[in-house]
A and B are shown apart, each in its own frame.
Chain A
Amino acid sequence: MTSTAVPAAAEPAQKKQVRNGASDRSKAENRLGQKLVAPAIILMLIVTAFPMIRAIWLSIYDYSLTAPDEREIVGIGNYATALTDPLFWKSTGITVLYMVVTVAIELVIGFIFAMVMHRVIFGRGIVRTSILIPYGIITVVSGFTWQFAFSYQNGFVNGWLPFIGDDFNWFGDTTPAVIAICISEIWKTTPFMSLLLLAGLAQVSEDMVEAAKVDGATWWQRLWKVIIPNMKAAIMVAILFRALDAYRIFDNIFVMTNGAEDTQSISFLTYRQTIEQFQLGMGSALSVLLFLSVLLIAFLIIKLFRVDLAQARQEG
């Protein structure tokens, strides 16, 4: 009893000293940490936050670069014009269509690819090397590749598909043009999806799958009851990343149709207003709307699927 009383009396003083030492140390650590991340933060802010604030500012003006002196404040006029314009809603609709179609197909194909890559032993290096080629290829090159492939003059797709005439023009109507654009997009980005899913598959414990097998679960049951629930975090992160990326679709449309046949996405519309037609005021309003819609989608996906990004990246 007495032996515990003595240290108990001495402890507060000692503890205080330690805490003081620790707080000096942690203050220094705090400062060093903030100094080290400062350059990264400044760089990220220069190119995003600052222009975004400027976009909000410009969006209340009727401001065209071709007539800079006639700039005048129109308040929410640009937003009202955009939101009541059928072209805006048409572009938004087609963008959502691109996003839903490509992400859904990529998820299925990417999952199959991930399963194959997870199991394959012989030729693993070749498979992984090949899958990185579409990932690394320039999107513009992918756009050209598929545009030429679908061309009735010089391509091969019409010749290979039995139910399509040799002179069918894929870029003459909305539906086939959208299909062609989606195929180029899916071809290029499925590898990324499959690599994210492969990382998720690697987290599923083999013992658990084996145990389910011993208990008599069929392959299909093992897939839906054991494998998929255990890699849910990886699937959700893959969907989130790809969905937001797909919503920004631009390169393929620019190269393959240049927005013709109602294929233009919301990014493409914004680009046209700002860079091609020099309507900085209107373009900025569209930029803000595009930014808000991306935020909304991110919010919806995170809430709807309860994506826990911190957990997925193992951050406490």
Chain B
Amino acid sequence: MKQKIGIVIGVVLILLWCLLPVAWIISMSFKDEASITNGNPGFLPGDGTFAGWENYRAVWDNDQFRRAIWNSIGISLIATILSVIVATLAAYAIARLEFTGKRLVLSMALAIAMFPVVSLVGPLFDMWRAFGIYDTWPGLIIPYMSFTLPLAIWTLSAFFREIPWEMEQAAQVDGATSWQAFRKVIVPLAAPGVFTAAILTFFFAWNDFVFGISLTSTEAARPIPASLAFFVGADPFNRPASLLAAAAVIATIPIIVIVLIFQRKIVAGLTSGAVKG
């Protein structure tokens, strides 16, 4: 009984921890912009300072922000797809084949996962300008791919190790062609792992800030996090806090949707990728 009460309190604490700040930023996004300049303290908008959808409309009408959303979606999706394809090849080799250099790949992936990203942006900034991909989509897609590969390779090789590969041969013995065996047996078994790796990769790309501010200079490729940090309203000395809050909420919606739909897959991927249990 005592333990049960403890767990209920724990659950309430976790929910408060996770959701209260989210509720706060949503509440902030409904505070009237004019009242923000004069000061409008408190968790909820004060009397007569509820702005309705006004801030959201203002953010949506902002070309720079719309462009940043488009950049973020495009860059993150392309990087995710390419990274998962490359990682699937590597993870298959790691899980299924014996070859020299296997340990090297795994240690390299580990080293890159721990790499201080900031120490690369200087040389990359220089290199990308020489190659002519500074401030372009490929200029961000390439580093995102490289930095999501370790996570994708770990997650996928952990999943692939669990697949009963004998089933492929069994299907062939039963008269299936190699292609049928692959499509009908292996693909459905491997798909959840690939999908999980894709979600985690997408989160990384969507969240990145350091590359986003260092390797872009205009709205041509600037993703949302960078755009949010550089968002200046009409008055450069007074950041438009409630507009920023509205923009932040918009940038969070895709994450919440993904989390709501794929909760189970993400938890499985995170726990299998880092600590294989």
Contacts and interface: CB of A to CB of B under 8 A. Distances in A.
Interface in B164-220: 203, 206-207, 209-210, 213-214
Given A250-B210, A271-B210, A158 B41 contact: yes
Instruction: Tell me whether chain B's interface is mostly helix, strand or loop, or mixed.
Output: helix
A131 B264 CA distance: 12
Instruction: Tell me whether chain A's interface is mostly helix, strand or loop, or mixed.
Output: helix
A120 B7 contact: yes
B163 interface: no
Considering residues A37, A154, A287, A298, which has the most beta carbons from chain B within 10 angstroms of its beta carbon?
A37
B114 interface: yes
B81 interface: no
A7 interface: no
Interface in A179-231: 187, 190-192, 195-196, 198-200, 202-203
Nearest to A254: B229
> Size class of B's contact patch?
35 or more
A113 B10 contact: yes
B8 to A, nearest CB: 9
A154 B24 CA distance: 11
B228 interface: yes
Contact of B125 (A50, A123, A275, A286): A275
Interface stretch (A13-21, A79-87, A96-104, A241-249): A241-249
B53 to A, nearest CB: 19
B38 to A, nearest CB: 8
Contacts, number: 322
Contacts of B114: 241, 244, 294, 298
B51 interface: no
B41 A138 contact: no
Interface residues of A, number: 109
Considering residues A54, A132, A267, which has the most beta carbons from chain B within 10 angstroms of its beta carbon?
A132
A119 interface: yes
Contacts of A313: 154, 158, 275-276
Contacts of A290: 116, 118-119
A268 B272 CA distance: 32
Interface of B: 3, 7, 10-11, 13-15, 17-19, 21-22, 24-25, 28, 31, 36, 39-43, 86-87, 89-90, 92-94, 97-102, 105-106, 108-110, 112-127, 142-143, 145-147, 149-150, 153-154, 158, 203, 206-207, 209-210, 213-214, 224-225, 228-229, 241-242, 244-245, 248, 251-252, 255-256, 258-260, 263-264, 266-267, 270-272, 274-277
